[in-house]
Amino acid sequence: MMSKHDPPFKPLSLSQHFEAPEDFVGCFGWLCGYSADGGFLDDAVERFTRRTQAQRAYCGCIAMALMLDPSNEQITPTEVPGVLHVPMNDKRPFSLLHAKVALLGFRHTSDARKWQLRLIVSTGNWTRGTLEDSLDLVWRIDLSNDDLKVRDDWVPQACADIKAAWKMLDWLRSHFDLRVLNALLTGRSDSESTVASRQLETWIEKTIKVGSGVVPRFFDNRQASLLAQLPDLVREHSSGTARNYIGMGSGFFESSDNHKEIPSVLKRIVDSLQVDNLQKAKLLTSQPEIDVFVNPTACQAVANSVTAFGDAGWKVREAGKPDYFKAAFRSLHAKFIFSANQRDNSNLCNSAWLYLGSGNLTGPGFANKMNPQLGNLEAGILFAPESLHWETGRGVPPDHVVTNVLPLQWESDFCQSPGSLDVGNDMPEPELRYSAAPAAYLFWVVEENVGWLRVVDGVTESFDVLAESGLACPQDSVQGFQWPGTSPRQPRQVQLRWLVDGQEQKAWVPVLDEFGRVAATTLPRIDIEEAWGQLANFPMPPDDEELIPDGDDESAIGAVQPSTGVAATASYPVRQVMQLIENIAAKQTSVSQVDWPTWCTRFEQCLIQAAGSKVLGEFLKLGLNPLSPLWCSPFRPDFAMTAETSEGLRYEEALKRVETAWNVAGLTKFGDQP
């Protein structure tokens, strides 16, 4: 029993499931769903990366790739930094993209050998509405590298679930435009985003091997409907016992046709569990207790079929709202099927199994295989919850009470008051709101105080780049699109306009800067001490107060720099610059291999940001290259000792670019003085 001092039970919200584990930080994640919004995603990605919106905008790295149904409005990288909403690049192989799945990877903050994967299957969309307005369900499992070593009984099953989910997500990726994620600047072999996404895939590959030969609990409807797979999954992951209770809930049901019959999909679910196509043993007794849980104000065909339900001995009930929601209104959006045996002399939900997922109990959602006309892409999980109880009781934890974890209630039904139910609206027909543009991103280049937006090679379809005024930017066949203004400031994203079958299309695409940052905020000018301050705190980005407001051109690189007050004859600049080099040498020898790509990027950015420092200018009067010691092997980690390794090559390329920005490549190296 709970004591009066115990906190009240309340499960995690959907966004809280994105929280990084202690001592871990989000590396990369893939999400798919029907819809999403900026409010939810900003909360989720902040929990995932442990970085604020300003810090993520400064870094310009992709932490999550989001695949949504094309009917969702575009969510831009400036709206939610760190999240890349990718568009579809071809015709839909499904009616709707309705599956709601996330596969997240976390890396340890100090030990590169440690990682965790998290699989999330949700009935709710990635929206604020899911958090604030609806009754939804979520299932998740976490798996670490340590789990693979121990190989407890549950580990192969978890690996099989992750394998099945990744198989669907990987297939889905082939239908989306991933060019931004794979974007590379000239002379660079990869980016922080590509390194992070590949790291996630490496962890997944290790997991897949352990899950081979195990039947997953995760399933989708690409090859067969969820309904067709249901009986076998129940037998595989629970038992072949015949249960005497089944409860079914859904946010949508079949369209109302006024036939006043039990909706066909609900009837087929029950029939398939009593006797399937192979005439196997029953999974449901011949006269079970059957409940259908609905939204009273919008339950489609169920509203006209209450009499038929009553005649068959079924009950139609309003979804139960757990006490932790208090007085707040919540509408049923969860899709679930729960079945178990109930006994008069036991509080246990015996032989229980549960389906939850994206598939509404309709034809397109549950009874049909995926197809472009009448079959959505749906996914779910079927598992056997342990130690569930029908009611509260002594020694029963709150999260083991079925009415606390599922929207069930048995106090009232509508069989005596069928007029209390309304048909409501059917699922709205989707409209195409976001599709792939001819160019997925543009590069920013400044030449002679003119800003150019350049297109990556291979883009042949014509399009316009719209300036902030809404007018098309002038185009040069070699230079690209000219951004308006003298000494213009780089836009974080620009809007493209093009024609498809004579119809005008528009979409926002990110702009990549000289460091490959995606839709990033302006890098401020910093001095030598500030450069070290940022590097010293690596791998954390600068604090919010250190980042300039977006649009503050006075603080940007290239703006006229005010005097720092450092005397030209002082020896202080020499000490400052050499202290910076010593600090960098000591710091980078301890950077882990997994953090090395990010270190090289941060090292390059910070030192180039300090290129206009007056302290550096005073030092350069000596005619010496202060960066030359950083080429030496004692000041580099073992894995980046030479350019023969990818890490060493990355470091030397970054160091060369800093030498160019500082104008020191041709100066005398330390140790070369006569």
Res 443: pLDDT: 94
Residue 511 CB partners (closer than 8 Å, separation 6+): 441, 442, 443, 444, 453, 490, 491, 492, 493, 494, 519
Tokens 């209104």 sit on residue: 329
Q: Identical fold at 15-211 and 218-420?
A: yes
Q: What is the pLDDT of residue 4?
A: 43
Q: What pLDDT was estimated at residue 537?
A: 86
What pLDDT does residue 597 have?
A: 85
- For residue 672, name the pLDDT band (cuts at 50, 70, 90): low
| CB atoms closer than 10 angstroms to residue 564 | 13
One-letter amino acid identity for 614? K
Radius of gyration over every alpha carbon of the chain, rounded to an integer in angstroms? 29
Domain boundaries, the chain: 15-211, 218-420, 442-512, 528-669
Note the pLDDT tens digit of each residue in 420-442. 889 887 777 788 899 999 999 99
- Position 2 pLDDT exceeds 50: no
Using the predicted structure, report yes or no on whether residue 171 has a pLDDT greater than 80: yes
Give 409's pLDDT tier (boundaries 50, 70, 90).
Answer: very high
Is 3.30.870 the CATH classification of the domain at 15-211? yes
Per-residue pLDDT tens for 470-510? Answer: 999 999 988 899 999 877 889 999 999 999 988 999 999 99
The pLDDT of residue 525 is: 86
Helix (H) or strand (E) holding 83: strand 83-86
Q: CA 557 to CA 29: how far, in whole Å?
A: 32
**CATH among 1.10.8, 3.30.870, 3.40.50, 3.30.420 for 218-420:** 3.30.870
The pLDDT tens digits of the residues spanning 513-546 come to 988 999 999 888 888 989 998 899 888 888 777 7
Please report, to the nearest 10 degrees, the dihedral formed by the alpha carbons of residues 72, 74, 80, 83 taken in order.
80
pTM above 0.95, yes or no: no
Residue-wise pLDDT tens digits, 257-299: 767 789 999 999 999 999 855 666 699 999 999 999 999 999 9
Phi, psi of 524 (to 5 degrees): -80, 155
Q: Which residue has the higher pLDDT, 568 or 608?
A: 608
Share of residues in the chain with pLDDT > 90 (%): 68
Summarize pLDDT for 374-395 with one digit per residue, the tens: 999 999 999 999 999 999 988 8
Q: What does the pLDDT look like over 214-265, one tens digit per residue?
A: 999 999 999 999 999 999 999 999 999 999 999 999 998 988 776 778 999 9
- Report the range of poorest mean pLDDT among 23-37, 135-149, 581-595: 581-595
> How much is the mean pLDDT over the chain?
90
